Amino acid sequence: MLFDAAGTLFDLVPPIHDVIASTAARHGHPCAPARVERALDHVGGTLGWPDDESDSAGRTRAWTVFVRRIIDEVDLPAPDAALGEISEEAAATILEPANYQVFPDVAPLVQRLRAADIRMGIVSNFDDLLFDILDHTRLGTSFATILTSYRTGFSKPDPRIFHLAARAIGTDPAATHYVGDSVYSDMGGAHAAGLHGILIDRDDKHSTYSGERIVSLMDLRLDLDR
């Protein structure tokens, strides 16, 4: 069984839009988190999320630019210097591994999979920051195979990264399950690669999704106890 990483196994706490809103408020420029969330969805969906970077300096630059685009979308009434400081501070918070927490349903599921001797792996659009987060959350030891877009050169929904992961855990794509929270990159890529895609929809945002959908990892209907 293969899993996405952020949004599936762990997440930033508080979420990105709250980080940006609270940072702006600390600098004396409050804005509604809901407005920031809408801007985040729009910027990420149209201009794209930050590219993979080879080092922490590159990640900081990329995420500072990304946050600034979100703030500009919100049209926060603040001097340019203040907007720059907000962007840099929010980016630093987002990139701090200690600010990520594992979802509570992950540990019991991992125990079930281990008991059933089911091989597990991670397939994620991430650079090497992922490994720092996995170290901090102690998730890394649960997954023998961890493939990222940065290290493989393939980004989801490209089927090739899914094929590489299935091969790494020694399973045929048709016999491999993939759990992720994105309809486009996770489910689109998994299905294109011939895997069985399962959408984890913790916040019930995709109620009209026609494929298999769960709201908790403990809802997985697999023959794990044989």
Residues above pLDDT 70, as percent of the chain: 98
pLDDT at 221: 77
Nearest alpha-carbon partner for 220 in 146, 120, 129: 120
pLDDT in tens, 56-82: 999 999 999 999 999 999 999 999 999
Cα dihedral 14/4/54/93 (nearest 10):
0
Nearest alpha-carbon partner for 6 in 119, 69, 94, 108: 94
Query: Where are any strands of DSSP class E within 85-161?
Result: 100-102, 121-124, 145-148
77 close to 29: Cβ distance less than 8 angstroms? yes
pLDDT in tens, 19-67: 999 999 999 999 999 999 999 999 999 999 999 999 999 999 999 999 9
Q: Looking at the predicted structure, is the pLDDT value of residue 170 above 80?
A: yes
Beta-bridge partner residues of 123: 147
Burial (CB < 10 A; 0-12, 13-18, 19+), residue 174, is exposed
pLDDT at 222: 67
